[in-house]
Structure 1
Amino acid sequence: MGIAIVGAGVGGLALARVLHVNGIDAVVYEREPSREARGQGGMLDIHSGQRALREAGLLDRFFEIARGEGQDMRLLEPDGTLLLQEDTPDDAPMLRPEVDRADLRDLLLDSLPDGTVRWDHAFTSAADGVVHFANGNTATYDLLVGADGAQSRVRALLTDTRPAHLGQNMVEVGIPDIDHTHPHLAAMVGRGNYWVFGNGISLAAQRNGDGRVRIGINFYNTDENWFTTAAIPFDDPAAARARLIALLPGWHPSITALIEACDDTVIPRALPTLPPGFTWPSRPDVTLIGDAAHLMPPVGEGANMALLDGAVLGLALAAHPGDIPVAVAEYEREMYERTGAAARMSAEMQELLMSPDASRRLLEFFQPS
């Protein structure tokens, strides 16, 4: 089987690894020039995706790099009121451990034979079993798998549907080496997740394994033009931090101190989504996995679904050697049911986060009566 996977994210790499474990070769084509070309983002909460890592033969090695203490959580209101604090015992099971996305990606990359990933191969088009790349190279395929994320180009081979704005805009900032640079803030954030919700805005601070605290300030019920109207001067980090704090009137100074302490990396992110239950007309030679297939609100399901997509498709191809259409149909049936349920749950959680009383509703969610 000639299997071409477009995109070296966790879903595409999980697919390549499960195929490799089952004796099937595949090639992953990635647009980035190398594995070190850019940062890979923050932490991932891996729960259902652990099944995929087990199928990939990597679960024990995953537990070696995962952070059980990343399951800690603190939930506050903007005035500083602590609503909930959960500290994970040292001997607690690793049900939802956090892992740096870069570490998980490295684990998957290092598990593949040399040459499996072809860097600097940006997908441009595909037809009649030939895929074309921006560098002028081509490759033949029996199955083309789009694992190329939210703005997937492979998706256009199957559908005209495009992601729509979620109604949420985020500004990402961070504090490097927080234990040494701002120990009092490190103690406040704790070992895992620190969440503040109120008035259609949230601040989520997350401890990363490299000592950095990554912070997302989310503005709900906003449109794709919000960054312009909010007048955040992203070309001036100090002024951008000041403007962000001004957008949080009444928030306790101990919370806004997190923004004051951030470095000069200030990144705007407009968040898109695909509709829950999104499907496409099936084709025997092209399919999608991960965000390309089911882009969801960012509430902790996306990476897990991508890992499972890769494993399920890999196992289906291994179970039907020489019959790719049957394997693709089997995978898509399972994926639509599984990810449809996850997308509906994610949409419900997103609705909760966008509500004016999100902090109290979250408290009820985590501590039901």
Structure 2
Amino acid sequence: MTNSARPNSARPGSTPRICVIGGGPAGLTCARVLQGHGIEVTVYDADDAVDSRDPGGTLDLHADSGQIALEDAGLLDAFMSWARPQGQAKTRRDEHGTVLAEFVPGPGDEAAPEIDRGRLRRMLFDHLRPGTVRWGHRLVRVHPLGTGGHRLEFADGSTVEADLVIGADGAWSKVRPLVSDATPRHLGVCFLDARFDEADSRHPEIAGIVGAGHMFSKDDDGRAVILQRNGDGVVRGYIAFRAAPDWHVAAGVDLTDRESVRSHLVREFGHWSAAMRALIVRNDGDYVPRSFRALPAPLTWEHVPGVTLIGDAAHLMAPFGGHGANLAMLDGAELAHAVSRAVGPEAAVTLHEAVAQHESDMFVRSGGLAASSNDALVRFFATTDEPDLPPDHEQEHRDHLTRARAYRQERARRRGERAGA
């Protein structure tokens, strides 16, 4: 099946055919804000349905990025109805369980409340027009058409043509090669994702250690355990260590055999206290191997007409600081606003000009945060005898709110300048 699009036009005000590749937070936010501007968009995603796979753990949405995107999408109140402000709590322990530092959010602190990834994705999807997302569409290649348009080819043999292709397809983006030859590099740290179901009743000791939010523990050899309180009584655990992606081969570990993994972890974490080792070996279900990867930071490219990137496809970074998903959603919202300036009878710029300006703004917004997040991960897992203390979370929250006010003011100024140009 082929769905041909209108040819791309250099004239301001033309109505483009827009395709978003990837139905994660970035792509869905972009689609929602585009629809708020009255602009048609179709999202293509490889998953069979919005909830067909485990979406991962919890996210903290920052007042100066993710929450601004949700406000633009008209979904901030919906988010707050599901968010967990108490999930902002953080505890740092050593390998013996001794508390090194604690942060408890104060009353009314909504600088970075938590929400499960699956809940966020469902919320965004539910607020799109029916039929916006085409599930079960795995992109295999993109063919430039020579006029700024592109033909998308999917694994099922279907094709579609678009005036603007938005790559929101994550770390291994199929769209990225159109604008950059950058690929994710391994940061030298791997981890195993585990979970504890009905934690308060079935794993009360573990629930007590993790508290209401996050617990971080690390030894001097770069081994760490990070626990996150999720919704529905679930605690997610991340057992992390410095290693190559194929560490299990040299270690003789069968990743499909839970007991094989556990035996290895007991040896590796044998010097940890019994209470802390429980966080490593009492999980429900199998261990899921993952690794930390990042794109070069800052990553920029020369604008290519008819295509752009947002989210992890544009600036995949380490999760330290929690900036990745937040920037991804803000990317989506800001790109949608940029496109709206090139559509309709009042448009003063072409689609290419609007997208190119958005990319320039995104590079400035994301480049430094990506580099600092990657550096923070390397420092966290470094071998050191120095005590590993967390940042000042109270100051972080004040900074989120200060930056949110400044961002809105600066955005209003820029829009005023563009409207008067």
- For Structure 1 versus Structure 2, the TM-score category normalised by the shorter chain is over 0.9
Match of 1:211 in 2: 233
User: d(CA) in 2 for partners of 1:245 and 1:359?
Assistant: 25
Structure 2 residue 24 is matched with structure 1 residue 24: no
Corresponding letter in the other structure for 1:309: D
Q: Is the 8 A contact 1:3 1:141 kept in 2?
A: yes
Match of 2:125 in 1: 109
Q: Is the 8 A contact 1:76 1:359 kept in 2?
A: no
User: d(CA) in 1 for partners of 2:244 and 2:364?
Assistant: 30
Q: TM-score, normalised by structure 2?
A: 0.84
1:163-203 CA-partner distances (Å, limit 9, x unpaired): 11111111111111111111222122111101101121110
User: d(CA) in 2 for partners of 1:206 and 1:103?
Assistant: 15
User: d(CA) in 2 for partners of 1:364 and 1:10?
Assistant: 27
Match of 1:10 in 2: 25
Match of 2:337 in 1: 315
Identity %: 39
Out of 188-197 and 318-327, give the one that drifted further: 318-327
User: d(CA) in 1 for partners of 2:366 and 2:390?
Assistant: 26
1:98-140 CA-partner distances (Å, limit 9, x unpaired): 1100010011001100000001111112221221111111111
User: d(CA) in 1 for partners of 2:390 and 2:165?
Assistant: 44
Offset, 1:361? 3.8
Offset, 1:281? 2.5
Q: Is the 8 A contact 2:294 2:374 kept in 1?
A: no
Change (3 A) 1:259 1:245: same
Offset, 1:210? 1.8
Structure 2 residue 71 is matched with structure 1 residue 49: no
Structure 2 residue 371 is matched with structure 1 residue 349: no
Match of 1:193 in 2: 214
Secondary structure, aligned partner of 1:18: helix
User: d(CA) in 1 for partners of 2:59 and 2:186?
Assistant: 22
Corresponding letter in the other structure for 2:39: I
Matches within 5 A, 1:68-217: 68-89=85-106, 91-127=107-143, 128=145, 129-198=150-219, 199-217=221-239
User: d(CA) in 1 for partners of 2:359 and 2:391?
Assistant: 35
1:245-297 CA-partner distances (Å, limit 9, x unpaired): 22113111111112232012211112221011111221110110110100101
Change (3 A) 1:364 1:191: closer
Out of 331-340 and 346-355, give the one that drifted further: 346-355
Gaps (5+ residues) in structure 2?
Answer: 1-15, 345-349, 396-421
Out of 152-161 and 333-342, give the one that drifted further: 152-161
Structure 2 residue 54 is matched with structure 1 residue 39: yes
Larger radius of gyration: 2
Match of 1:277 in 2: 298
Corresponding letter in the other structure for 1:46: L
Corresponding letter in the other structure for 1:85: E
Count of matched residue positions in the alignment of Structure 1 and Structure 2: 366
Q: Is the 8 A contact 2:190 2:290 kept in 1?
A: yes
Q: Is the 8 A contact 2:90 2:103 kept in 1?
A: yes
User: d(CA) in 2 for partners of 1:211 and 1:239?
Assistant: 27
Secondary structure, aligned partner of 2:215: strand
User: d(CA) in 2 for partners of 1:241 and 1:14?
Assistant: 39
Change (3 A) 1:40 1:363: closer
Out of 353-362 and 190-199, give the one that drifted further: 353-362
Match of 2:418 in 1: none
Corresponding letter in the other structure for 2:296: P
1:301-331 CA-partner distances (Å, limit 9, x unpaired): 1100100110110010112226210111111
Secondary structure, aligned partner of 1:200: coil
Secondary structure, aligned partner of 1:362: coil
Corresponding letter in the other structure for 1:105: R
Q: Is the 8 A contact 1:316 1:328 kept in 2?
A: yes
Secondary structure, aligned partner of 1:14: helix
User: d(CA) in 2 for partners of 1:303 and 1:147?
Assistant: 11
Corresponding letter in the other structure for 2:206: L
User: d(CA) in 2 for partners of 1:207 and 1:359?
Assistant: 28
Q: Is the 8 A contact 1:290 1:303 kept in 2?
A: yes
Offset, 1:359? 7.5
Alignment partner for residue 258 of structure 1, among 276, 279, 303?
Answer: 279
Secondary structure, aligned partner of 1:334: helix
Structure 2 residue 79 is matched with structure 1 residue 62: yes
Structure 2 residue 372 is matched with structure 1 residue 335: no
User: d(CA) in 1 for partners of 2:334 and 2:238?
Assistant: 32
RMSD: 1.7
Offset, 1:49? 1.0
User: d(CA) in 2 for partners of 1:359 and 1:8?
Assistant: 42
User: d(CA) in 1 for partners of 2:338 and 2:193?
Assistant: 38
Q: Is the 8 A contact 1:352 1:362 kept in 2?
A: no
Q: TM-score, normalised by structure 1?
A: 0.95
Offset, 1:348? 2.7
